[in-house]
Every structure is written in C-alpha cells, then in structure tokens.
Amino acid sequence: MEALLRINNETCTACYACVRACPVKAIRVQTEKVKPEIIPERCIGCGSCVAACGPGAIEIRNTLDELKSILADGKKIAALVDPSIAGEFPDITDYRKFVQMLRTLGFTYIHEVAFGVDLVARAYSKLFKLSKGKYYIMSNDPVTVSFVEKYKTGLVPNLAPIIPPVAATAQVVRNITGEDVILVYISPLIASKDEILRFEGENRIDMAITFVELRELFIEANLHETDLEYSDFDAPLGYKGSFFPVANGIIQAAGIEEELHRTPVITVEGHGMIEAVAEFEENIVNIKHHFNLFYKEFLMGRGTSAGGKRFLRESQLIKYIKTRLKTLDKDAWSASMDKFVALNLDRTFRPDDQSLPLPSESQVNKILKEIDQLEPSAVGCGACGYASCTDFATAIAQGLAIPEMCNTYASRNRQDHIQSLKISNEKLAQAQDALKLSERQAQKEKEAAREASEIVRRMLHKLPSMVVICDMNLKIIQTNDSFIEMLGEDAREISEVVPGLAGADLKTLLPYTFYNLFTYVLVQNESITNRDIHHEGKVLNVSVFVIEKEKIVGAVIRDMSAPEVQKEEIVKRLNEVIDKNLGLAQQIGFLLGEGTSEAERMLNSIIESYNLRKNLKDR
C-alpha cells in the first residue's frame, strides 16, 4: 500500500519547516537528496508536517477515486460519520440536510460514530472500575497509540485494550445491515486512513476519507442544502457520545467523575501528549491516574478544513448536541445499548520500536566541531528543528539530518562560498586582462606581418626578374608585374580583375617544359637553379626553389635576351670559366713548371675587350 504521506519534489522548496514540525523526526534530509523525505515506518500520522508546509508539497494518500467508483457501482455502502462533523460544516444549517447530502451521493446507510463512542465509553468506565493498581493510556487517538507503539514500547501493555469508537460502530452496522456492506469512515484525522487498516474481521472498516475529501465530493456533485429535504441518521443514534470531538468528551460520555480531587483520569490534548506519555512512563507509580490523550482533539483534527476556528467549531458542536438531545429517544438508545452489550470491544497492540541507536559521545562531538558548535547551547535556536545542538548532531549521526540545516553552518558556508566566488572573480578579471593584452599583441604582430607582406609584395613588383609563387596544385599564390608582362596581353587583362593572378592555374599559362620544373621541385623537394628554357623566341633562365616543403614553390625567371641580363650573365659566366680554368692551369703549371698568368691574362683581356666594345656601342 502507498505511504500515508509523500513529499512532492516538484513543489517542495526544501525549507525544512516540516522537519521542524515533526514531533518524532520521521522526516529525513540526506545530502545527496536535497529534498526531505518522510520515513513511513517512523511516521505517526499526526499531520503536523502537512499543516507546516506552506507550498502544500505534502500529499495525503488519496482514496476518493476508489470511493467514487464504489458509489457509482451502486453497492451497499454505509457512511460512519464521526461526531466532529458538526464543527466542520457551519455552512450547513441543519445536520439533517448534511445526512441527505450523503444519501444523495449514493451512501445506502448513514450512521453516527457517536453510538460507538457510547459503547466504548461504557467499556472504559468498566475497565477503570475494575483496574486495581494498573493505569491505562486510553487508545481512542490513533496518533497517541502509534506514538506509544513506535517510541514508548515499554508502555504498550498500558494502552487500554479497547477498540476505538469507529470499530465498535462498524460491528453495530454490520450486525444490522449484513456482512456484505462496505463501511466508509468519514473522519477528522488523516491518521484514520492507516488506523482502519489494522482492524479485521468483525471490526473491519473498508475505507477512510477525511472531512476535506468529503467537501470535495459535495462540491463535485454540486450539492446544496437548499435543494434537499431533511433526513436523519440511521439508528441506533448516539447519546453523550456526541461529546467525543472535545478531548474530555469521552470521559463525560462514560460518566466518569471529572472533579479534580475525584477523577481517576487526566486529560491532555495537543503536543503536550508527547510530554504526558514521558511523564506517565517516569512517574505513573506516583501519578496513579489513567491518561486520556489526544495529539489533536478531533474537532480540530488534521483531516478537517484548514483555518477552522476552534471556538466557532465548538459552538457548532454544542448547538448540534442540544438539538440531538432534545429529540433523542432515550429508551430506544438504552435498548440499543443493551442489545449490543455483548459486542467484543477488545483489541491488542503491536510494539514496533522505531527508536534509533544513539551515537557515541565522540561521534557527536566530532559533528559539533564540524558544524562549528563547539560550545553548543543547551536549548539551541531550533532553526534546524531539533531541541538542542546536541540533538541535531545526534540526528546527523543517525542519518536523519544534514549540517546544512544549521543556520550558523549554512551562513558560514555561504560566506566561504562568497569569498571563493570573489577570488574566482578576481582571477577571471586577471585572465581577461591578460587575454586582452595578448590580443593587442597578436593584433600588432598581425599588423607588422601585413606591412612586411605588403613591402615584400611591392618589392616583388619592382624586381626586373619575373617571379611566381604557387601551391602544390600549381595554383598561383603571388606573381609580379614582370611575370604577367612575360605572359602577354591576356594575362595582363586578367590581372586587372584578379590582382596578381591569384588562384590561376600555372598549367594553363605556361608550357609543359616550364611548369614541369615546378612539379619536379614540389615532388623532389629539391631546388633547380639556372635552367635555360626557350620560350616564344626568348631564352629564359629559370630557378625554381622550395619555399615550404611539398606545399609551396617559387621561381625567379630572367630573360636572357634583356641587355642588362645579357651583360651581367656573360661576365658572370666568363668569371666561372676563369675560375674553372685557373684551377686547371694552376695544376698544369705546377706540373709543367709554366706560369698560368698568361692564360689568365688572355681571358681577362677577352672580358675587358667585350666590356669596352659594349660601352662604346652603348654610347
């Protein structure tokens, strides 16, 4: 079966108000799961967390859908209505209209749990009269019963062994209507949804819905009292059992003495229930009283509408009781009480110890040190939901809480976080400055490279020699004017559109013998120098060299027929001849004993005569 309560992670804001409200610390917060979670085994169904949760993130197990389908099926179904209903509907002026609304919804029988209260009250009166030195905690409040079973297991034998009024009513109704009737308890407590599950056989109750859920049904069915006739509860009707919604109502119904110096029962309602159980455990030998305990009296139970006013509800209840008592047939009531005198109202309890092992003192101290509470106050600020820092550290050790729930710890962590953010921001700013600096540097370098490239480009264009640079696909990267000039008119026109013929295919511009030299240099990675090539009646001297291995090659081409090149080249080549012959002559001279100066003189005179003739001609 689905848990009674669950936290919706979508709507939960992790404010931990529920953790603070839970009287038994049944809500766990774990580091890896930021949102809290309810531990069903530890929960006693008090509903304090539901009331504390502002965003309404705690969902209660829904039974309405199942009830609607049962009502729609037209099965025999009985409503067992808790007497506190009188305080829930101040908007319905006559309780008989309310009964008729239930019949209109489809309930076959409408019974008051007040009669069950009368039966149970009689059982308590008998129990207290017969008890000799043993004192009991009355077991009408499912939250109190659950608390004792889970957290005060030593007191389980002191829980009064009497079924709650709704179970007694179930027996009565089944006795009247037959076994096949479906019984639905309309309750002011969410805890009733779990409580009814423990009753079987003659005490069985099939379903429990809260007053809030009943309201939803009325709204959905669009029921208004003005449209309806009067109808009364089915017999047997209750008598003083109607007092049950207030804490001492059952004592009055049982006719137990209430005067302070005579009463055998102490009644406690509200959160004091937990303290009262502790006192019962410690001091019952001296207290010598039975305890009538309610975590929340039924009139203001957690299944009633939120924001209900305590005294308005009580006044409604009193008004209802007065009306009922005025018309109640006491003889018929007495007869019914007699009729059901033999009902078995006994019950048993099952200890279900949920107390957790306590951590060692050193463990607790270590945690206190971690959360910076070396000198914890005895009371604590309560922000974490625990009574003291030591209790909080104990809960951390037990896996129920996390240090982040402590305000001091969280605030210090926030400061650390802010500080580390500050440092990161400073580092980020420094990195940004450095980045800007290097960007400026890179920009400068880029500018310098661009200028250098421009200078080179201009120089290239001024060179009398032809220059061409191309990539591994023999596409032109750069040329100069001389090269374009050498290619002719078409190339000149293209260069006006595509400066420097960038991207043009060298193979389409030069003959094979020419561009083959480029291919060779690209493949072999070996430069070619001073190769003479005949091209369109000219002798071109070509040198192709590697600029970037296998990727870029460049060539310098000189027109050997150009006068300045011719002269320079002849002088250069004669010098080479002289150098070669000089070496040879030196060797021969050495061998023949003859000087080589004659040969040198001869060659020099050739050069000079050529130069002289040339100069005269030029002039």
Site residues (vs ligand SF4, CB under 6 A)? 5, 7, 12-18, 21-22, 24, 26-27, 36, 38, 43-49, 52-53, 55, 57-58
Smallest gap from Cβ 434 to ligand SF4, in A, equals: 45
Nearer to ligand SF4, 18 or 368 (CB): 18
- Check: CB of residue 535 under 8 Å from CB of residue 514: yes
**Spatial CA neighbour of 298 closest among 184, 149, 217, 191:** 191
Residue for token digits 């109502």?
Answer: 249
Please list the residues that pair with 528 across neighbouring strands: 544
Nearer to ligand SF4, 236 or 385 (CB): 385
**Spatial CA neighbour of 66 closest among 58, 75, 57:** 75
Nearer to ligand SF4, 406 or 578 (CB): 406
Smallest gap from Cβ 113 to ligand SF4, in A, equals: 22
**Spatial CA neighbour of 21 closest among 43, 48, 45, 47:** 48
**Spatial CA neighbour of 346 closest among 123, 152, 175, 153:** 123
- Check: CB of residue 468 under 8 Å from CB of residue 555: yes
The β-bridge relationship of strands 33-38 and 538-548 is unpaired
> What CA–CA distance (Å, rounded) separates 84 from 305?
12
Smallest gap from Cβ 38 to ligand SF4, in A, equals: 5
Smallest gap from Cβ 23 to ligand SF4, in A, equals: 6
Smallest gap from Cβ 39 to ligand SF4, in A, equals: 8
Nearer to ligand SF4, 387 or 498 (CB): 387
Nearer to ligand SF4, 57 or 284 (CB): 57
Distances, alpha carbon 429 to alpha carbons 95, 388, 415, 434, in Å: 74, 44, 21, 9
> What CA–CA distance (Å, rounded) separates 569 from 566?
5
Residue for token digits 């804490």?
Answer: 247
- Exposed / middle / buried, residue 203 (Cβ in 10 Å: 0-12, 13-18, 19+): buried
Nearer to ligand SF4, 57 or 470 (CB): 57
Please list the residues that pair with 305 across neighbouring strands: none
The encoded tokens of residue 144 equal 């109190």
Nearer to ligand SF4, 14 or 356 (CB): 14
Smallest gap from Cβ 217 to ligand SF4, in A, equals: 24
Smallest gap from Cβ 372 to ligand SF4, in A, equals: 23
Please list the residues that pair with 294 across neighbouring strands: 269
Smallest gap from Cβ 151 to ligand SF4, in A, equals: 10
Nearer to ligand SF4, 47 or 116 (CB): 47
